[in-house]
Amino acid sequence: MSTALAEEKKIETKPSQLDQLKKFTKVVADTGDFESIKDFKPQDATTNPSLIFAATQKEQYAHLLEEVIAERKNSGLSGPAQIEDIIERLLVKFGCEMLKIIPGRVSTETDARYSFDTQGSIQKARRLIELYRERGIGPDRVLIKIASTWEGINAAEQLQKEGIKCNMTLLFSLPQAVRAAEAKAQLISPFVGRIYDWFKAANKRDYTGAEDPGVQSVREIYTYYKKFDYPTEVMGASFRNTSQILELAGCDLLTISPELMEKLAASHEPIERKLDPAKVKDADVKRLELDEKTFRYLVNDDAMATEKTAEGIRKFAADIVKLEKVVAGKLKS
């Protein structure tokens, strides 16, 4: 065997970075494009209104929207109620398609316009779970995504008591994470990439490796949770590059886009576990005492968290409105 062939064979037998990562972190697909996740075999999948809207613009997914509209055109509903019904069922239809591919759970988001409405968020979550039940999917396979506002976390607290598991999204700070854990949320999604974006723009410099502010935020939250034995799962989200992912190897879960999963699958460089619950038990961390006033003040005092939470809510709400317009147009045609 030639030296070149021997080297090639040696590379082939080395596990990819994606496979190495899966040994100590649950990998989650972050996409509305469920066909693209089949090759990477993630455990769970997560979506948001922006990803679902983008997916409905693709030819291979247009039929899902057409099917829901056909099914619900004569539902007896009209106007905004009919459009809302169709979008709820579309979200669940996407979720069910993903659950055919993955062995674990799918995250489905409530309407971002309920981010400051506790009861509205609760009712929307119950409705989504009811629609999943109609399709034979139990609540154990679904996470309901809710924005990490005071009102959103209060909604999650009630839903968790009802057996509806919640994924706290648009989370950018330790106070949000601590309140979510106290509310017994199933999972939180700190947005690594958006934190990185804010600091990069604010300080007019790039960040790499362990100095990345998004990476540091997740490390801080992970350390706090493991130190004080909170069972809430930490899932790093919104990655801009594979370096951010590898710096958080060992996190409970990481939700990764198909593009970045492809890069990890193509690399065979060794990776090391960076987060380990056993190594943070002795960390010098003080418990954060939070009531509503303290929570609101601390989040307000963090310009990045305040701006990014608000921006995220606006963007997700805008994409729901875009989807509503698409549905309204199709109902008229």
Hey, which residues are catalytic here?
145
Closest CA to 156 of 144, 171, 172: 144
Indicate the angle between helix axes 79-99 and 62-72, nearest 10 degrees: 130
Contact between 186 and 160 under an 8 Å Cβ cutoff? The reply is yes
- Give the β-pairing of 44-46 and 142-147: unpaired
**DSSP symbols for 80-98:** HHHHHHHHHHHHHHHHHHH
- Which residues are CB-neighbours of 207 under 8 A, at least 6 positions away? 196, 199, 200, 213
Q: What tokens appear for 169 in the block?
A: 């999204």
Closest CA to 218 of 261, 242, 184, 253: 253
Q: For tokens 């455990």, what's the residue?
A: 43
Can you tell me whether residue 254 is helix, strand or coil? strand
How many whole angstroms separate alpha carbon 59 and alpha carbon 52? 13
